[in-house]
Structure 1
Amino acid sequence: MVCLTTDLIAKSSSHLKKKRNHSLSEYLKTLTHLNFSNRNIENIGDLSMCGNLTVLYLYDNHITHICNLGFASNLTHLYMQNNNITCIENLFNLQKLSKLYLGGNSITVVEGLDQLSELKELHLENQKLAPGEKLLLDPRTLLSLAESLCVLNINNNNIDEIRDLAVLKELKHFSAADNKLHDMEELEEVFSHWHQLHQMDLSGNPVCQTAKYRDRLITVCRRLEDLDGKEINDLSRQFLINWKASKEAKKKVKDEHIMASQLTAFPLTTDLNTAQSSQPGYDYSQTKALHRKKPLPSLRPSMRVCSDSEREARNYRHPTLTPFCY
């Protein structure tokens, strides 16, 4: 097993000439760039004497765990693609890290980046996944990167939806080629939040076969300059934007006409008989019978001529009553 240590650095031919006039400890303190790519390294040892390290190249090795990098508080670039890493861990002390390359590993969940507030580029393409497995991105990690991340590469990771990526509002370059993205409406919704996007690659996804795929994305991403490797000129963009605005205006007018015609056909107040008769099992003849006019009862009593004796008798019994007999 090859382990990256200060002794291995001291014995490296690329560093022998540089450290002739310095002690090993002094020389290690002056190091800012360290390149041990493709050296069959399986583990990272104690490198705490390299406190001024800013760029570390460890790609094309056999490293299985990210460890012993807590000393590298000045590290800005970390290249660890094409190793055997399965978990993103032990990076919380790298407060100045701006570029992280982890493509070609065996990572299944993107996490452990919550403390990297300066991270601008994240490369995760071509993970070695088990059949039927897809790369997952932890929503908490995405939220922590929302204000800083400008470049994201997730090519070829069996990804079928990117809804959680909408929070990455500072993205300028996005690569998700050779995945399983298929929902055009979902993409339009996510991209409508990315106002800084300049370059995007979605080639090799099923969604690319959707009608008007390119036109629809160009109208959503107003600053997009390159889509799937093809340049977008300002004239084409403006034409598509105007075309979309005209289409939406026509649809609005059509909807208004439909609404007006519906209001005309179905007035707000309807005849009671019509409303009742539309009910199932309703007998319209009953309504006609109920509404048939009936003669009002007479309020005036029948009149007949009273004799003088009858009139006098009534006035005697009820002198205040007005006689009705004449």
Structure 2
Amino acid sequence: MVRLTVYLIAKIISHKTRNEEDFEQYLRKITHLNLSDKNIDAIGDLSLCKNLRVLYLYDNQISQIENLDFASNITHLYLQNNCISRIENLSSLKNLEKLYLGGNCITVVEGLDKSEEIRELHIESQHLPRGEKLLFDPRTLRSLAKSLSVLNISNNNIDELEELAVLENLTYLRAVDNQLQDVEDLEVVLNKWTKLRRMDITGNPICRKPKYRDRIVVQSQSLESLDGKEIKEMERQFLVNWKASKAARKKSKDRVTDEHILYQHFSDFEKLYPILPVHHNPSVKEKTDFLVVSEMHKVKRKPLPRILGKNKSDEKSG
């Protein structure tokens, strides 16, 4: 296998350098270094490349991130499609903005709690053990909360996004081909992502739910594109109005139903226990029976006897 060293760099780029130029001086000047697809399995000493800003090491056999302490100026690091199993040794890269780690063997997004300038993290399609999903270290998420704007976590068996709600400045989420299923959980996260402009979650079970797109468009006022399809303001306004109208109809229907139930209750009660005439003076026992029935709402099948008031003929005879 091949170890990445300055001698390897010299061999690869010697034909591009001028003979009169000192090689070490050249290494101190270079800002971009492309060593992709060179069968490299380990990163050696590159400390001479102090001005390096962009390093391409994708499509190799690298198993460990190491020997990058010198690279404090690096802003873009491409390590996708290697054999890396852990994110580590990146704390010295204070200016790192874009990190590409897709197609490795990483199981936990960690080791970035000192990296507070990362704007893009691409960690899609990890070779995970069967049945496992990509996990996130809360410390790393808190560190990325203010800076991260682009996150690619596609094809990682992820089934919920709640823990990612702390990424308050996220503008683009790509999470295709995962196991997201619950629209309600996604709606909760969207309330936190107030700056999200694009989201692509095609290939998830959630996309087969009824009215999935309508619910997401209504929930997120900032989204401009969902699953690669533009969200037009006319579409959002129509759906918002439709939801409001539906809610108003439901509220009205519930009110009518409640009123009907209340009316039916008193109607049935009146049939079983008619209101006594005003001039009637019931006995103590009759008053007690009536109050017990009224307060306990116990409807008896056998009605109380109707008590009639005195008529005029009775008054005269008396």
Q: Do the structures match in fold with TM over 0.5?
A: yes
- Tell me: CA distance 1:248–1:60, structure 2 relative to 1, closer, same or farther (3 Å): same
Gaps of 5+ in 2: 267-289, 299-318
Corresponding position of 1:295: none
Q: Distance in 2 between matches of 1:44 and 1:94?
A: 15
Amino acid at match of 2:152: N
2:96 maps to 1:76: no
Corresponding position of 1:3: 3
Pairwise CA distance, 1:45: 0.3
- Tell me: CA distance 1:161–1:273, structure 2 relative to 1, closer, same or farther (3 Å): same
Classify the secondary structure of the residue corresponding to 1:222.
Answer: coil
Corresponding position of 1:312: none
Q: Distance in 2 between matches of 1:130 and 1:190?
A: 27
Spell out structure 1 runs of 4+ moving beyond 6 A. Answer: 259-267
Residue deviations 1:227-282, cap 9 Å, x none? 11222222112211222232233344445556667777889xx934544685xxxx
2:93 maps to 1:94: yes
Q: Distance in 1 between matches of 2:99 and 2:221?
A: 28
Which one has a bigger Cα radius of gyration?
1
Amino acid at match of 1:239: F
Contact preservation (8 Å) 1:153, 1:176: yes
1:157-236 alignment to 2 at 5 Å?
A: 157-236=156-235
1:38-77 alignment to 2 at 5 Å?
A: 38-77=37-76
Taking structure 2 as the reference length, the TM-score comes to: 0.81
Amino acid at match of 1:8: L
Q: Distance in 2 between matches of 1:215 and 1:97?
A: 38
Corresponding position of 1:316: none
Amino acid at match of 1:225: E
- Tell me: CA distance 1:61–1:249, structure 2 relative to 1, closer, same or farther (3 Å): same
Classify the secondary structure of the residue corresponding to 1:3.
Answer: strand
Contact preservation (8 Å) 1:151, 1:172: yes
Contact preservation (8 Å) 1:19, 1:27: no
Corresponding position of 2:310: none
Residue deviations 1:281-322, cap 9 Å, x none? xxxxxxxxxxxxxxxxxxxxxxxxxxxxxxxxxxxxxxxxxx
Classify the secondary structure of the residue corresponding to 1:192.
Answer: helix
Contact preservation (8 Å) 1:105, 1:127: yes
2:245 maps to 1:246: yes
Corresponding position of 1:314: none
Residue deviations 1:13-72, cap 9 Å, x none? x34332533222211110100100000000000111111100000000000000001111
Taking structure 1 as the reference length, the TM-score comes to: 0.79
Q: Percent identity?
A: 56
Give the RMSD, CA atoms, in angstroms: 2.4
Pairwise CA distance, 1:225: 2.0
- Tell me: CA distance 1:249–1:39, structure 2 relative to 1, closer, same or farther (3 Å): same
| Count of equivalent residues | 278
Corresponding position of 2:84: 85
Residue deviations 1:161-180, cap 9 Å, x none? 11101111111111111011
Classify the secondary structure of the residue corresponding to 2:192.
Answer: coil
Corresponding position of 2:281: none
Is 103-112 or 235-244 further displaced after alignment?
A: 235-244
